[in-house]
Structure 1
Amino acid sequence: MNNSAILEGFTRGQGFLASSNDFAGAHAVLAGIPFDATTSFRPGTRWGPRAIRSVSEVLEEYSPYLQRELTGVPFYDAGDLDLPPGRVEASLERMEAAADAIFAAARIPFFMGGEHLVSYPLIRAAYRHYPDLAVLHFDAHADLREDYLGERFSHATVMRLVAEEIGPDRLYQFGIRSGTWGEFAYGQEETNFFMDVITPPLAKLVPELVRRPLYVTIDIDVVDPAFAPGTGTPEPGGCPPGEIFKAIQILQGANVVAFDLVEVCPAYDQSDITAILAAKILREAILAWGGKNDQA
């Protein structure tokens, strides 16, 4: 498949900090998924990718946590995927096809949402290429409902969809602090469910996790809303940003084959602090899992 076919359906604009214009030479691909059709409280996450890119220039290219620099990890910013407004299932199909093309091109995708439902088609594509896939889910919300207001496809059902797709024993959920009684019961009985904690159980699981391909999905609302107010469904409590950076460091040597960061909502983001945090998380993720780094 040629490069133009892989990138068909994307619109490029301002690129993320230190991104390359050379797809052929890139080890990783950054892609925006501007979708928020099932948002249940505060809409606007479709503008998240644009906001994250626009503030990324405030960051340094070097990470003192990982002791690496973005110039050593060639990555291409494909822009934002074009999606048909108001058509949920058609949009999900386009997301899955786009992700499938990136995997087929042997690149590591880094996705920016959009609401959390975008993870479902992206994980479906990853699972097709990596049958032994496990999913690491960092979130305030369990997202394990069978339906939300009668709709099966929702940001509130996304991890239930994922569990049914790959098997609940392959789903690892960290930092959860909100959900229905039924969601907590399902999570505690069926998935690998860690309420309100992140790094202690993650560190213990590393020997188990490093042996298999991983998809990492981070909902920005896993972070305390004092640090990340610009999100669609803020939930009091949660971790400080440093714990997310620590989680990425813990997984630095793991076989992460795809990553997404979702639920940044610029309309509610005072002084862009949530978008800047998201950009820094993306920087760390790209440096940890984006492929070749001459300083490694």
Structure 2
Amino acid sequence: MKYKFNQTGKFLGSGGEYKSAHTVLAGLPFDATTSFRPGARWGPQAVRNVSEVLEEYSPRLNRDLSEVSFYDAGDLDLVPGRVEVNLERMEAAAAALFQDGKLPLFLGGEHLISYPLIRAARRHYPDLAVLHFDAHADLREEYLGERLSHATVMRLVAEEIGPGNLYQFGIRSGTWGEFAYGQEETNFFMDVITQPLARLVPEFGSRPLYVSIDIDVVDPAFAPGTGTPEPGGCTPREILEAIYLLSRARVVAFDLVEVCPAFDQANITAALAAKILREAILAWSR
């Protein structure tokens, strides 16, 4: 499957060499199945643009982006309206990054992008566990008759990796059936993040982890620029604490999804996403 990245700007502190980079950022401007407010395809560039407001130094981690080998590959070229073709392109691009030994950080786009990325990750890391931070369970079997949707993505993931290998944090919205499935089949932590994560990190040991953060896990008071806002979420400090806790684990891939610039008052959601990315780069990169 052929794919190509186009350079659409650079995230704060990114270097110019793919070959020598340990960590690679890839934008996936895709929102074909968004069910409420579209526009997440513009998320990657909005996050890049606002990243310049940040310093390259993290006081919490006492580390600077100049200390890590980090490359921004740009956005993947996608075909408007072709869901399955685009998912195939994403999977191929992710597989190449894993084959090259990179730590990929993917920037969406809507949450369906996680499915092909996790498929590629699992082929490279057969004992993969997925950590999912979200307001929504995303465990529907179908949505409006469609299997491929941002509302079904974690059900697809559960079927791909086995539901016992899926850990869900901060969930506060879904159907009765989704909550029943999650509580019976996955590792399901409703409305909480840091307490269960702190307990689990030592148990993960050196197991490879794929981390997926939907920005709507954060309360819309702090992150209004998202497609499906759900009141009652965590604070920015809590989701950043999750990044810091995972610095003691083996994160092999990460995605951050559902930033929707059209509804982002004063770019505060994009700024939060940029800080999450900066801290993830510094916490997990060599």
TM-score of the aligned structures, taking structure 2 as reference length: 0.99
Corresponding residue to 2:76 among 75, 81, 86: 81
Corresponding residue to 1:103 among 91, 98, 114: 98
2:57 paired with 1:62: yes
Aligned to 2:281: 286
Deviation string, structure 1 residues 266-285 (Cα, Å, up to 9, x no partner): 00000000000000000011
Corresponding residue to 1:24 among 19, 23, 27: 19
The answer to whether the Cα contact below 8 Å between 2:201 and 2:248 also exists between their aligned partners in 1 is no
Aligned to 1:245: 240
Aligned to 1:166: 161
RMSD of Structure 2 on Structure 1 (CA): 1.1
CA distance in 2, matches of 1:23, 1:89: 28
CA distance in 2, matches of 1:13, 1:112: 13
CA distance in 1, matches of 2:60, 2:176: 38
CA distance in 1, matches of 2:205, 2:263: 37
Aligned to 1:225: 220
CA distance in 2, matches of 1:173, 1:241: 18
CA distance in 1, matches of 2:152, 2:130: 15
Aligned to 2:254: 259
Q: CA deviation at 1:202?
A: 0.5
Q: CA deviation at 1:210?
A: 2.6
Aligned to 1:10: 5
Aligned to 1:193: 188
Report how many aligned residue pairs link the two structures: 286
CA distance in 1, matches of 2:118, 2:245: 22
Deviation string, structure 1 residues 154-175 (Cα, Å, up to 9, x no partner): 0000000000000000000000
| Structure 1: 4+ residue segments shifted above 6 A | none
The DSSP-based 3-state class of the residue aligned with 2:220 is: coil
The DSSP-based 3-state class of the residue aligned with 1:267 is: helix
* Structure 2: stretches of 5+ with no match in the other structure: none
Deviation string, structure 1 residues 96-136 (Cα, Å, up to 9, x no partner): 00000000000110000000000000000000000000000
* Structure 1: stretches of 5+ with no match in the other structure: none
Q: CA deviation at 1:66?
A: 1.2
The DSSP-based 3-state class of the residue aligned with 1:252 is: helix
CA distance in 2, matches of 1:107, 1:61: 21
Deviation string, structure 1 residues 174-232 (Cα, Å, up to 9, x no partner): 00000000000000000000000000000011121233000000000000000000000
